[in-house]
Structure 1
Amino acid sequence: MDLDVFVIGGVGIDTIVRVPGLPLPDQETIHVPPVETYVGHTGHGVVLGCSRLGLYPGLADVIGDDPAGARIRATYEQLGLPLAVAFHPSGTRRSVNLVSPDGSRVSLYDDRHPPGMRVDPNLWRGHVGRARHVHVSIMDFARRALPDVLAAECTMSTDLHDWDGENEYHRDFALTADLVFVSTSALRDKAIDWIFASGRASVVVAMAGSDGSYLHVRGEEPVHFPAMDIPGRPVVDTNGAGDAYVAAFLTTWLDGRTFQEAAEAGTIAGAWACGSPGTHTDLITAEQLMYLQTRPARGDRTG
């Protein structure tokens, strides 16, 4: 096995527009700072975060044979990380993210790919068997990789993002993964109980933005990890914070440490990501994470 983490799905181009506030004022023209574009999206954030923390990750995804896709391929060539792609005429996914001065955002997501899109499973099959762990993004095509990941007998994670606990689209991912990440923004009561009762997850991490995160380990009481402030690094942009959390959690857990230690690492990495503008522009390194982990605690974890 020569890949630490293999990610299936979730790379695209982010356009970041810094706006005076959210919701937008009711006026025809709004002057904004320079609009920037980045290689981004959730799967790429996990790959880049794991790489910055010392792992060797790779990615497989469907992109377009277009300038955006060429930029993605060039980025992975520069990073020296494996990238397997299939081309689709609908093009490369895009997102326009509006970011307010306090770092909060609204994401306008252009998936482009048609529902039910199928791709050659060889896109991921040769890589799954080489990986210690597979992270499956909730791209529709990626659900067809789930049986192959199970057959490879490696551990699997997924990020359900703003799942409400009922939308059928997310359920295959929620039921199959060993580690489930999900936002609390739309999550309904008993959704986490349903994952444990119906799926195979040993842990569910509910990410709650400025309220931190909640670690749910099967058979144990949940533990709250408050969000943290990093001195000298105020929040300017929350784009990619969840991906940074996932990457640090996986890296720590794959190193043989506990879920609690992994959640602590994720909390730090997510806070660090909020301190730079744009998407995945300054993710935490292993050295920076280690330094911040040794600092005195700024709050108690609560069960």
Structure 2
Amino acid sequence: MKNIFIMGGASYNSVITLDEFPQPVPTTIHNCHFNETIGNTGAGKALTSAKLGFDTTFHALIGNDSFGEKVSSFLQEPNLNFINDADPLGTERHLNIMNRNGERISIFTNPSSDVPNIDYTKFKDQLVASDYIIINIANYCRYILPLCKLLKKEIWTDLHDYDGKNKYHQDFINESDYIFLSSDNLKNYREFMIAQINNGKKIVVCTHGKGGATAFTKERKWIEVPIIDAYKMKNTNGAGDSFFLGFLYGFSKGYSIKKCMQFGTITAGLCIQSEFITNKNLSEFKVEKEHQKYFTA
């Protein structure tokens, strides 16, 4: 069993699903689908990682409040060790408004602390023991990057909807070896991917929602994968995190990059069929069976 250390990103979210986003005029909406659940990029990655058989350690900030207790309860899963520091601002909370196309407006109703009082050296043993390290772009996570580099550990990161110029992301870009992002706000994503490989990155992967995903390797090879249409969308929250871990699952097995991309597509597809941030029926057996069904049958 491979060890993964994941840092950053747990919240307790309210999710409203509408056919269409409201117009920017005063209105009353009488009916919607509503639920409250764990969310955020680290939680999605950690839950997916554990279900795919990784021995997972996940660190996040949560408050000493009822929402923090709910986050912790969702993370009581096999293969998952959740460790946390108390956030004096309370547990991070989002309001996510979804439409029928899977598009999202995310409002941070209670952001987390940017610079919490944490002794990052306490993570040294976990970092040393980890086969893979995922550092998410929560602000507090940037302060562990120097320790990762000091220990000569490779870093995986997810830039999400990076626009190609936001300086907030630069520390994560500079220090990471493996980069994932979406093309939502980066139409010239190929130029960015080429630049990162030129700067010494091992691989860059860009997801495009319904448009599939693109990888560019250090061997300067482009790899494209489409979505699997058979997966019917209920909820897109967590799809990108599931793709990330599906890819990493294949990578940990020594599969080709194309096959890793296929596993990313499978785990993302299974995720969107669920109203949760990962598919509760996800497992190593499930994804291998799905790969045989869609790619080797």
2:80 & 2:241 partners in 1: Cα distance?
A: 18
Contact 2:88 2:113 in 1 (8 A): no
Q: Tell me which residue corresponds to 1:301.
A: none
Deviation at 1:111, TM superposition (A): 5.8
DSSP 3-state at the match of 2:27: coil
Tell me which moved more, 183-192 or 211-220: 183-192
Residues 53/114 of structure 1: CA separation in 2 closer, same or farther (3 Å cut): closer
Contact 1:16 1:97 in 2 (8 A): yes
1:193 aligns with 2:191: no
Candidates 269, 272, 278, aligned match of 2:270: 272
Q: Tell me which residue corresponds to 1:150.
A: 149
DSSP 3-state at the match of 2:96: strand
Q: Tell me which residue corresponds to 2:293.
A: 295
Tell me which moved more, 134-143 or 95-104: 95-104
Contact 1:192 1:204 in 2 (8 A): yes
Question: Number of paired residues?
Answer: 294
1:39 aligns with 2:38: yes
Tell me which moved more, 118-127 or 96-105: 118-127
Residues 145/3 of structure 1: CA separation in 2 closer, same or farther (3 Å cut): farther
Deviations 1:142-197 (A, max 9, x none): 11111211233333200000111111111111121121001101125322233223
Contact 2:235 2:274 in 1 (8 A): yes
Deviation at 1:25, TM superposition (A): 7.3
Q: Tell me which residue corresponds to 2:172.
A: 173
Contact 2:10 2:38 in 1 (8 A): yes
1:73 & 1:55 partners in 2: Cα distance?
A: 19
Contact 1:241 1:274 in 2 (8 A): yes
DSSP 3-state at the match of 1:201: coil
Deviation at 1:48, TM superposition (A): 0.8
1:267 & 1:76 partners in 2: Cα distance?
A: 24
Contact 1:165 1:188 in 2 (8 A): no
- The one-letter amino acid of 1:264's match is Q
* Higher RCO structure, 1 or 2 (CA under 8 Å, sep 6+): 1
2:250 & 2:107 partners in 1: Cα distance?
A: 32
Which consecutive unaligned segments of at least 5 residues does structure 2 have?
Answer: none
DSSP 3-state at the match of 1:294: helix
2:176 & 2:110 partners in 1: Cα distance?
A: 23
Residues 284/91 of structure 1: CA separation in 2 closer, same or farther (3 Å cut): same
Deviations 1:55-90 (A, max 9, x none): 111111222111111122233335462122111211
Deviations 1:73-132 (A, max 9, x none): 233335462122111211111111112233332222346234444522145333212211
1:62 & 1:191 partners in 2: Cα distance?
A: 31
Contact 1:18 1:98 in 2 (8 A): yes
TM-score by length of 1: 0.89
CA RMSD of aligned residues (A): 2.2
Contact 2:121 2:147 in 1 (8 A): no
Q: Tell me which residue corresponds to 1:216.
A: 216
- The one-letter amino acid of 1:173's match is F
Q: Percent identity?
A: 23
2:117 & 2:50 partners in 1: Cα distance?
A: 29
Tell me which moved more, 126-135 or 107-116: 107-116
1:123 & 1:21 partners in 2: Cα distance?
A: 46
Residues 161/111 of structure 1: CA separation in 2 closer, same or farther (3 Å cut): farther
TM-score by length of 2: 0.91
Q: Tell me which residue corresponds to 1:249.
A: 247
1:103-114 matches, within 5 Å, as 103-110=102-109, 112-114=111-113
